[in-house]
Amino acid sequence: MTASKRKKAAAKATPEFPALRDFFSGYLHQDFQDEYGSAAKAAKAFCGDASEEEIAAVHAEWRTWRSQLGNAPATNIATSLRAMGAAWQPEGVDDLDQFGKALGLA
């Protein structure tokens, strides 16, 4: 394998949003509704449980991820969430923006 191919393989193996992946899989897992009642309550639970550094990392990655999504349809949003370990199925970007507020983002 050439050095160029090794770099590309390493880049693919590195998760793009590690803090979001940890957050989504830890708080928006398949039982999040039973455990928290809603995605917004899961976000608030995270904010109560996490360190300031963890919250700051999730906020930074959320802003980037949300910006990349733009006005994507619900199916694209759900696919992106599932790829990062979330079971939450928002109905659209309005749900994402409400969720962002629950995370403490304006």
Give residue limits of the domains in the chain.
16-102
Which tops the pLDDT comparison, 2 or 54? 54
Burial class (CB in 10 A: 0-12, 13-18, 19+), 26: middle
> How far is residue 22's CA from residue 3's CA, in Å, rounded to a whole number?
30
Task: Provide the token pair at 83.
Answer: 């790829």
Would you say residue 23 has pLDDT above 90?
yes
Looking at residue 15, what is its pLDDT? 59
- Residue 11 contacts by C-beta under 8 Å, 6 or more apart in sequence? none
Both tokens of 70, joined, read 């733009």
pLDDT digits (tens, 9 = 90+) for 29-84: 999 999 999 999 999 999 999 999 999 999 999 999 999 999 999 999 999 999 99
